[in-house]
A and B are shown apart, each in its own frame.
Chain A
């Protein structure tokens, strides 16, 4: 528990939108771009926050949670998103199981690690090829404007959606 971190605008915006849209479960594999969101959810007693070993596994868990009546979000880094193509394309999409994915976008402006570039740049086209809506606002204000719509669209259309979190949103 860290009450200072829980009050970051990014964490507060995402937690508030999840609450408004009936999301009660989140899985994550740790990523520093998403740490504020994890801290905020960890501090909120009305959320179940579950760390997982692999990102595709998290989507499997959230699929099961949805079948039993709980709406979920998955927090992961772009490198982990690259593990998820099959569970998205062969489970969530064909069975119409919605999950909101928050993907920390490495390989973007200011990246230092060449091993993050290709896979980070692959997130948007991977979503496009799978027919998964993708948004990656550049500012926190931009993110705040799309959050409610992203949750609403995911659960009303029963479609997984993806929100890319750029470094510029966290600063």
Chain B
């Protein structure tokens, strides 16, 4: 029996399956989880613009069609920016993997429940918006299997991960947005 999904498990799996991928985490828990596990140039750490992370991923995917773009979204962020899913579905870049890390709460503000805690299902929205593949995972083995399947056969994919609320990483302090951007742009330019 595989273990339930942890933030450290998500970070390790994404970095392992997509070693050259461009990774864009939403502000809050996903940015904190990645930075907590050591910063990498290929990751664009967000410190603002809630609800925008998947749209940034779309711009990256369309402009760098030869690169795999992995968006690590949160449920609060995605609910805020849901309109952006329709533009992603309409454009349907195959090199975009949109991962929703759904802890059913606003994780950075004390764990107040979001609408996904009351049954709202973003995966159905993704299907309605035209994502080519929509998958779910609640354990790490299934999560890895879906990511590896995407890597083998990339099509615009929405991967809905259900996680617990207990293991939220502490966010680092003193963000350096210009340094984050400069290093990420260098990684984008590097030939792969």
Q: Taking beta carbons and an 8 Å cutoff, which residues of A are in contact with B?
A: 25, 48, 50-54, 56-70, 72, 86-87, 89-91, 94-97
Contact = CB atoms under 8 A, between A and B. Distances in A.
Nearest to A52: B87
B125 interface: no
B177 interface: yes
Contact of A63 (B22, B56, B91, B188): B56
Interface in B38-91: 44, 46-53, 55-64, 67, 81, 83-84, 86-87, 91
B49 A87 contact: yes
Given A61-B59, A64-B57, A94-B47, A53 B83 contact: yes
Given A69-B63, A96-B178, A96-B181, A64 B48 contact: no
Nearest to A24: B63
Contact of B60 (A57, A64, A87): A64
Nearest to A72: B59
B46 to A, nearest CB: 8
**Chain B binding site: helix, strand, loop or mixed by DSSP?**
helix
Interface residues of B, number: 36
A87 B57 CA distance: 15
Given A57-B87, A95-B177, A96-B178, A65 B62 contact: yes
Of all A-B residue pairs in the complex, the 8 with the closest CB atoms, nearest first, are A64-B59, A90-B48, A60-B55, A60-B52, A68-B63, A91-B49, A53-B83, A64-B56
B185 interface: yes
Contacts of B61: 64
Nearest to B49: A91
Contact of A61 (B24, B50, B58): B58
B148 to A, nearest CB: 25
Contacts of B177: 94-96
B20 to A, nearest CB: 14
B87 A69 contact: no
B35 to A, nearest CB: 16
A64 B71 CA distance: 12
Interface string B83-106: 110110001000000000000000
A97 B16 CA distance: 29
Given A61-B55, A64-B58, A91 B48 contact: yes
